Structure formats: structure tokens, C-alpha cells
Amino acid sequence: MKIHVLGSAAGGAFPQWNCNCHNCKRIRDKTMNGKTRTQSSIAVSTDDKNWLLLNVSPDILKQLSDFPAIQPKTGVRDTGIKAIMLIDSQIDHTTGLLMLREGKPLDIYCTEMVKQDLSTGFPLFTMLEDYCTVKHHDIPIDGSSFEIPQIADLRFYTQALKSKAPPYSPHRHDPHLGDNVGVIIEQISTGKKVFYSPGLGAIEPHVMQAMQDVDCLLVDGTFWTDDEMCSQNISPKRAREIGHLPQSGAGGMLEVLNQVTETRKILIHINNTNPILDEDSEPRQILTDAGIEVSYDGMEIVL
């Protein structure tokens, strides 16, 4: 199984177009040891030909142009994208669907709650009806398994996570199971597994179990501290308020990941304010010492 990181940043990418925070200013000025990043999405395949996209960010056209394996190979119109899975209905994980409107019908796997959001509050599915159209496939939220016919030798297990629906959702203030899911991807022939969850607000028992049962983790790396946005005068909202477990502090992601052994641990969905983007920073060294990697655009993971 090959996992290709199309984008590794949180919403807004890095540097964010209108941001002059400590990180964004230095990366533009080329005074920081770090990498620019597009908004988070991954692609998974077992044959380097047929790919499943997990989330479709607003940066999808650049991501596809930077990834030869998924580009057209035969015929006048072609793509290596055979199916799409959405883990939530957030803008930075779904807006790129509009950029795929010139193709054939999109086979999209997501929960009923995500489908509702993308048919009402943010009606992408409705908008696409006059273009490529959408074939929706419902996915479970109880951890049970399913397969995607177009993607050989992979089995998927999706489970509901504690989270908020997006601001435009009709049930923003009434959370439902299925607003956000984590997914375990298993290669049937080898038994190798990866757990993908770019948005984690709480480590529920089934989440901890999933983390311990896989060979690789690609999990929420959005913020280093809970008050990161507040301390930089960017937003009054704290990390946990908007559904992201910070890396540092009591009960943070670093503490959680230190309990997981014999597993490759990688952070994804990294906000532009996060000091771990600076490869010379103390927080980055703390992660390195703990055996935790920071994903980057174009990173490939082979299991």
C-alpha cells in the first residue's frame, strides 16, 4: 500500500495568503528552515494506477499537477482518481470537488451527515449535478468494514469521532454521529494498516484502540498549544474549542502518542501558526526525540 500526501497543511495552507504571523512572514522571507504546504489531503493505492482520494482540498489542481502517478495516461480524458472519501464536510476538505467537475461522475464515499451538509448548507453535490454528477456511497460510523470496488486489495473501517459540524451545517450546534470520521485503511493481502484522522478533538476509547492496532498513524497536528491562535492575536478560539487536540500540554497529542509503541507516527493538517513548521524549533526537536514525524507535501509512505 502506498500513501501519497497531497497536502499537509490545515485550512489556509502555509503560508496563508493573508497571514503575517511569525511563521508565514519568515517562510516568505526565506529566513525560516521549513517547507510550504497546501491544504490536507492524501491519496492511497496498491498498484500506482488506481487511486482513492481522502478529502479534496481547494488546492487539488496544484496537488494533482505535482503528482505524475495520478495524471492522465490513456485516452483524451483520463484520471487515476477512481473514488473519493470525505471524512467530514469542512471547506478545506471538500471545496476541491468543484475543480473536478469536468470529469465523469464522481464516486464519493461519505456519511449520511456529510452528504446532508453537502446537499444543503454547502450544496456542492447539488451544484455538481449540472456537471459531472455525484454517485454517493454511504459509509458506516460504527467501525464496521467495507471495500471500494475500484480500489483493489484495500478494506476500510470508518468510525464516528467527537467533532462539530461546519459553521454552515444546519446542525452546527446539534452534533450528530457521522459529522466527522476516522478511517483505518487495511491492505487485505498483507494485513498492513494505517489510521487517518486529520481532525481529532478527543481520544475516545475506540480511537486509542485504533491507534494501537495499526502500523502507521496520520493524525491531527493542527496546533502545538491550546491557546496558539489566542496568543498570536489571530483568533479568540482555542484549539479544543474548534475540535483539535493540541500536541503539547496535559492530555495533548504528544502525551497520547507516547503511549503508542511499535507504530510509525506522523502528524498532518498543520496550521500555519504551529511552531513545528520551523524545522529548527524546540517543539520540532521534541517531536523528533519522541519519534514523531511531521508530514509534508509529496511525502510517500509505503506499508
> In this predicted model, what pLDDT tens digit does every residue of 57-104 receive, in sequence order?
999 999 999 999 999 888 888 899 999 999 999 999 999 999 999 988
**Which pLDDT belongs to residue 64?**
97
Which helix (H) or strand (E) element contains residue 267? strand 264-268
- Using CA atoms, how far apart are residues 122 and 213, in angstroms rounded to an integer? 35
**Which pLDDT belongs to residue 274?**
97
**What is the rounded average pLDDT of the residues 15-22?**
96
- Using CA atoms, how far apart are residues 258 and 238, in angstroms rounded to an integer? 23
**What is the rounded average pLDDT of the residues 37-58?**
97
Architecture of domain 2-302: 4-Layer Sandwich (3.60)
Residue 24: pLDDT above 80? yes
**C-alpha grid cell for residue 148?**
471500494
Cα torsion at 55, 61, 66, 69 (round to 10°)? 70
Residue 188: pLDDT above 80? yes
**Which pLDDT belongs to residue 73?**
83
When the pLDDT of each residue in the chain is averaged and rounded to a whole number, the result is 95
**Which pLDDT belongs to residue 163?**
76
Task: Say what percent of the chain tops pLDDT 70.
Answer: 100
Decide: 87 and 94 in contact? Cβ < 8 Å: no
Instruction: Work out whether strand 2-7 and strand 300-302 pair parallel, antiparallel, or are unpaired.
Output: antiparallel
- Say which range, 23-27, 72-76, 95-99, 265-269, has the weakest mean pLDDT: 72-76
Residue 183: pLDDT above 90? yes
Residue 243: pLDDT above 90? no
**What is the rounded average pLDDT of the residues 101-129?**
95
Domain ranges across the chain: 2-302
Instruction: Work out whether strand 142-146 and strand 51-54 pair parallel, antiparallel, or are unpaired.
Output: unpaired
**Which pLDDT belongs to residue 162?**
85
Residue 164: pLDDT above 80? no
Q: Scan for cell 483524451, then name that residue.
A: 76
- Using CA atoms, how far apart are residues 298 and 36, in angstroms rounded to an integer? 11
**C-alpha grid cell for residue 80?**
487515476
**What is the rounded average pLDDT of the residues 235-261?**
92
Rounded alpha-carbon distances, angstroms, from residue 121 to 115, 131, 235, 288: 10, 20, 24, 41
**pLDDT tens by residue, 198-242:** 999 899 999 999 999 999 999 999 999 989 989 898 898 888 888
